[in-house]
Amino acid sequence: MTKQPRILVTGAGGFIGHHLVKRLKAEGNWVRGVDVKLPEYESSAADEFDVLDLRKYDNCLEATRGGIEQVYNLAADMGGIGYITASHADISRNNILINAHMLEASRLNGIDRFLFSSSACVYAGYRQTSADVSPLREEDAYPADPEPGYGWEKLFTEELCRYYRRDYKFETRIVRFHNVYGPLGTYEGGKEKAPAAISRKVALAQDGGEIEIWGDGDQTRSFMYVDDCVEGLVRLMASEYHEPLNLTIN
């Protein structure tokens, strides 16, 4: 009988992390979930769920204890564009601490594979505001001009993952999320993403009414259902691909 790995999902109290835990458990894995908060809409399927602040290095060591073999590092201070454009210092500091501490704790605790969740915000701003652009390619992240704060710290951590692989032979995977939607996602409060915000606005609009949008309405975005996102995460973790990868549906 094939031994199933012991897996850690950070950010397991969040939208994608919560769905990922359910998928990993359905496949028979032993899963530890970690987040600064519990899932908002239903209980976690994880075998263990630790409420830990991963900005603190000792908590990262605790999260990766006990023979964990794979880490899906989805923990992040993040939200919709309104939030990430208004909190550059807090977001950058919080996420740099989480990611640097999780990488080092995972290396020291002998983790086999570490997946980092990056973002489309690593791409230059003009590629995300104009409707007259071709689909984003991974190499388009350079020359670098990412979203201030959130985008810069994501791009820096991508490089940090590369350094850990080169210098320590530590196996890292890098995934760039775009817009993920589906059940049990945040839909209000300023941290929701575009699909949830649009759905909320339409549901609350009066018959024949209008909703407010940002931009001129011609901008394009790629959207991915959360089950497809989770499928991509599991496949990337199992692969031998080490470079940043856009996770999108064509």
- Residues with catalytic roles: 150
Q: Is the dihedral of CA 236, 240, 245, 250 positive or negative?
A: negative
Q: How far apart are CA 243 and CA 246, in angstroms?
A: 10
Best CA proximity match to 192, nearest among 179, 203, 176, 202: 179
Residue 178 and residue 88: Cα distance in Å, rounded?
Answer: 19
- Whether residue 174 contacts residue 241, with contact meaning beta carbons closer than 8 Å, is answered with no
If you search the block for the tokens 């570490």, which residue do you land on? 114
Angle (nearest 5°) at CA 123 between 118 and 128: 115
The angle subtended at Cα 122 by Cα 117 and Cα 127, nearest 5°, is: 135
> Hey, what are 34's tokens?
């970690």
Cα–chain center distance at 130: 24
Indicate the helix (H) or strand (E) that contains 128.
helix 126-129
